[in-house]
Amino acid sequence: MVRIGVLALQGAFLEHANAMRQVKSTYGYDIDVIFVKTVEELRQCNGLIIPGGESTVMLNQARNSPGLMPELQSYLQDPSKPVYGSCAGMILMASEDGVGGGKKPQKGLGALQGMNVWRNAYGAQNESFEANIPFQGLLNPDIPFPAIFIRAPAIHSLVPSTPTPSSNASTASKLPAREDLCVLPPSLVPHIPEIADSPLGPADTEAMRIVAMKQGKKLVTSFHPELSGDLRVHEFFLRECCGMEADV
């Protein structure tokens, strides 16, 4: 039995949990799904999902739960821990100094060192859209995935990985290769305005096309698969990040 936690501080955690339970019943994965709001619950998890929602609210809620913030950051930075972040979850998984955009400065938690993210890159709520796009590694790969973008972040740029406080230069140099799983056509890539004082510098137009990426046991998507009714991204996380096999 593998226990998958869904961070339940804010956002679409119910939808992610429901999708995981449907994956269990559909594909026969031997998993238990729990909600995570405390350190004790996080320590029970073999893998973690961080849902879409409001990343600033999630961080504030984590700070208000005794001991959760440092434990969560340590969990995310541990290369042995499978973690999947969608939309706001992708923002939280960015480099510590790798988050731009939004009204107030924000830090990432360093799950994917070198990944810089721009918040709300795809516009406001009323600019949400759905696109059928290829996604490498999914079951039935010839069928595009219905990706739903709601105030979605974009990967601003990707820079060489650097050591985290809990690692060293040797560890950073041995990180698994990055896999760009889902790449948008140029026509769908958002425009990020040039901001002279942005610490992230100019955006990389090629990096901005990447809306699903995997490195080792870490997975991020700009979009919301939990809202699509398509279970294949959640199944991919169990198979490719958690190293599981279906029982059917």
> What are the residues facing 130 on neighbouring strands?
148
Q: Is 235 a known ligand-binding residue?
A: no
Whether the CA torsion 178, 108, 147, 83 is positive or negative: it is positive
Q: Is 148 a known ligand-binding residue?
A: no
Does residue 182 have an active-site annotation? Answer: no
Does residue 87 have an active-site annotation? Answer: yes
Q: Is 91 a known ligand-binding residue?
A: no
Q: Exactly one of 156, 224, 234, 241 is catalytic; name it.
A: 224
Cα–Cα distance for residue pair 155/150, rounded to 1 Å: 15
Q: Is 98 a known ligand-binding residue?
A: no
Q: Exactly one of 16, 226, 234, 241 is catalytic; name it.
A: 226
- Are 218 and 83 in contact by the 8 Å Cβ rule? The answer is yes
- Are 131 and 184 in contact by the 8 Å Cβ rule? The answer is yes
Q: Is 150 a known ligand-binding residue?
A: yes
Does residue 226 have an active-site annotation? Answer: yes
Cα–Cα distance for residue pair 21/155, rounded to 1 Å: 29
Cα–Cα distance for residue pair 44/247, rounded to 1 Å: 23
Q: Is 54 a known ligand-binding residue?
A: yes
Q: Exactly one of 15, 45, 87, 241 is catalytic; name it.
A: 87
Binding residues: 53-55, 119, 150-151
Binding residues for L-glutamine: 53-55, 119, 150-151
Supply the residues annotated as catalytic.
Answer: 87, 224, 226
